Amino acid sequence: MKLQTKVLLLLFPLAITAGALILILSKGAINDVLLRETAERGFLALTEISPKVDAGMRTGEEKTLLPLLNSAHVQLRALYVAALAPDGTVLAHTNVVEKGRIYTDPDTRQILTYEKPGYKVIDSKGRKVLDIAAPVWAKDEDFLLSHEKGGKTFLGVLRIGLSLENVLATRAMILRRIALILIATGGAILLVILLFLHKILFPIRLLSDSTRKIGEGRYDVSVPVTTSDEIGELAGAFNKMADTLEKTTVSRNKLSEEVVERKKAEENLLQLLSLHHATLESTADGILVIDTGGKIVTKNRKFLQMWRIPDDMAASEDDGKLLAYVLEQLTNPGDFTAKVTWLYTHPEEESFDAFTFKDGRIFERFSLPQRIGTRIVGRVWNFRDVTERRKLEGMLLQSEKLSAIGQLAAGVAHEINNPLGIILGFAQSTVKHLKPGDEALALPLKTIEREAVRCKNLVQNLLVFSRISKNERFQEINLNDAMESALSLISAQAKTRNVELVKELGAGSSHIHADKTQVQQILINLANNAIDAMPKGGTLLFKTSLSAKRPGYVEILVRDTGDGIPKAMQKKVFEPFFTTKEVGQGTGLGLSLVYEIVEKHGGSIELESEEGKGTEFSVHLPIHPAAPPAKC
C-alpha cells in the first residue's frame, strides 16, 4: 500500500470523526439557543398578559381569562394557552374542552412548583412541544411576573405550548449548512494535504521507480534533484549509487561472460577428456604415451593387460622399474631399446616393427610423435597383439602347402596307377599261363603280383588322403577292413615315432552303411593327431564295437597316451583352423573335417582328455542309413 493511500486512509476517518463531533456539539448548542429564544418569546407574551389576568385568576372566571389567552395564542401561534389554579384545575384554556379539568400528570405537578418562569420540552400527541410556564403572584393589588415570593400570593400558573417543528426545521437547516461547510472545508483541507503529499512523495516515487529499474538491470537512470532538503540529498545519493552500480555491473557482466565462457570451455575440455579416455579404453590395442623426457603421460588398461603388468607396479610412478619388467619378457630386448633410442634422436620419425616374447607372443609396434601445433611434446606408442593372426597366417600357408602337396600326390598317384595296373595285369596273366616245371618263374612272378597289389593299395590310400574323390558313395562297408586300410597308411609313420598301434576289432560291428573313403579320413586324421600328441612315443589304440550308449550304432574308439588337451581348449578343438601345434605342424582342419563327416553320417563324436594322461575320441556311426542332418 502506497504512503499517500495510507495517509488518506488515516485522515479520512479522522475527518469523519471530527465532523461528527462538531455536528453533535453544534446540534446541542443550536438546540439550546433556539429553545431559549423560543422560550423568551413565550416569557415576553406571558409578561404582557400577566397584569391582565389578576381578576380572572382570583375569581376563576373563564370569560375574563379566555380572551387574553386567545390573544396570546394567536400572537404566538401557540398550540395552547392555559391558566391553571394552584391545584392544577384548568381555569381557562384555548381548547375549551379542557376547562375544569384537573391536571395531575408529573409535568403539571412540576410546573405548579415553579417559583420562577421555566420551560420544558414535552411530547404532546406525538409532537415535540416547548411547554413554557410562569407562576402568577399577587402583591398589594399589583400583579407582576416576579422571581421572588416575598409577600406575594400564588394565584396559579400561566402555561403556553409552542410547537417545536419550526425550531427543529431551523436546527436541521443550520446543521445542514454546517455539514456542507465542514465537507467543503474538509475537502479543501484534503486537497491541500494531497497537493502537499504529492509534492513530498513525487521525488520519492521517482526514487522508487528508479530503484525498480535498477532491480530490472537498467542502471542508466537518474533522479532529478528538485529540493535541497533531506529528500534532495537522498536523490543525490541515489544518483551516485546508480552511477557506481552501472560501472560495477558492467564489470560484473563482463566477468560473468568470462565465467560462462570459461565454464563452457571447461565443459568442452571435460568432454574431450572423456572422449579421449573412452577412445583409449575402447581400443583393442595397447596405448602408451610418453613425453620428451621419457616420463609416462598416460596408458590404457589394454596396455597393462597385454604386457601383464601387476596393479601395484602400474599404480607406482617408477618408470624405470616398469621398463625393466617389460624388457625381461622379450626375446631380444636390445633391438627393442635400440629402436626406442633411435626414435628419440629422430623425434619427427614414425616407426613400425614387430617383436616376440619369450612365451611366443608376437606384438606389432607403431609409433608416431605427439604434437601441439608444430611443437613435438611426446610420442605415442601403439601395441597390437598379432600372435593369433600370425598363427592363422602360418596355418593358411601350411594349408596351401598341404593342398599343393595333396594335388601333387593325387597327380602322381593317378599317373602311377595306370602303369601299376598294366604291370599287375601282365604278372597275373603270366602266372596263369605258366606250365608245370616253370616253378623258377612262378615265385618271382607271384612276388611281382603281390608287390604290385601292395603298390596299388598304397596309391588308393594316397588318393583317399588327398581327398581327390569328390563324390560321396554311401553303401554297406566292412568297418574293420576300412580301418585296416587306413592304418596301413600310418603304420610306417607310427614306427618312426615309436608309437605302438593296437587294434581291437569287434566281430559284430564289422558292417555299417557309410562312405568308406570318408570313414578312412576320420581314422587317418584321428591317428595323425594322436601320433603328433606323443612326441616321445606311446600306445595308440583303435577299437570297434557295438555302442552301449546308443543302440543301432557302432563305436570307434581312438585312445592315445599323449600329453592330453587342456580343458580350456577342449571346446574349440573341432573349430576350423584351431590347433595346439606349432606353426608348420598342423592346419587346424583335421578335427573340423572329422566332425563334419561324422555329422554327415548322422553320428556323433565325443572327447575325453586329461593333461599328462592322454586323449580319447569316441565316434558313433549308425549301422543302418541315417536321415541327413537338418539344414538351418
Q: Which three cell numbers stand for residue 630?
A: 537338418
Within the chain, all domains assigned CATH 3.30.450.20 are found at 11-171, 283-385
Within the chain, all domains assigned CATH 3.30.565.10 are found at 472-632
Q: Which of these, 123, 217, 224, 201, lies nearest to 164 by C-alpha position?
A: 123
By the 8 A CB rule, do 325 and 358 touch? no
Give the integer Cα–Cα distance in Å for 167 and 30.
Answer: 10
Please tell me the class of the 386-470 domain: mainly alpha
Give the integer Cα–Cα distance in Å for 201 and 8.
Answer: 13
By the 8 A CB rule, do 607 and 615 touch? yes
By the 8 A CB rule, do 132 and 49 touch? no
pTM: 0.39
Q: Which three cell numbers stand for residue 404?
A: 599343393
Residue 147: the pLDDT is 41
Collect all residues with Cβ–Cβ distance below 8 Å to 572 and sequence separation of at least 6.
578
Within the chain, all domains assigned CATH 1.10.287 are found at 386-470
- Give the domain 283-385 fold: Beta-Lactamase (3.30.450)
Residue 559: the pLDDT is 94
Q: Which of these, 70, 76, 66, 84, lies nearest to 134 by C-alpha position?
A: 84
Which DSSP state fits 176? H
Question: Side chain identity at 22, as an amino acid letter?
Answer: I
Per-residue pLDDT tens over the stretch 502-537: 988 887 667 888 888 888 889 988 998 889 888 889
- Give the domain 472-632 fold: Heat Shock Protein 90 (3.30.565)
Residue 471: the pLDDT is 54
Three-class DSSP labels, 41-110: HHHHHHHHHHHHHHHHHHHCCHHHHHHHHHHHHHHHCCCEEEEECCCCEEEEECCHHHCCCECCCHHHHH
Q: What are the DSSP E strand ranges found in 357-419?
A: 362-372, 375-385
Give the integer Cα–Cα distance in Å for 18 and 5.
Answer: 20
Residue 26: the pLDDT is 76
Please tell me the class of the 11-171 domain: alpha beta
Per DSSP, the three-state class of 440 is helix
Q: What are the DSSP E strand ranges found in 421-517?
A: 474-478, 499-505, 511-515
Q: Write out residues in the chain with pLDDT < 50, as ranges.
A: 141-150, 468-470, 584, 629-632
Residue 287: the pLDDT is 92
Question: Side chain identity at 98, as an amino acid letter?
Answer: E
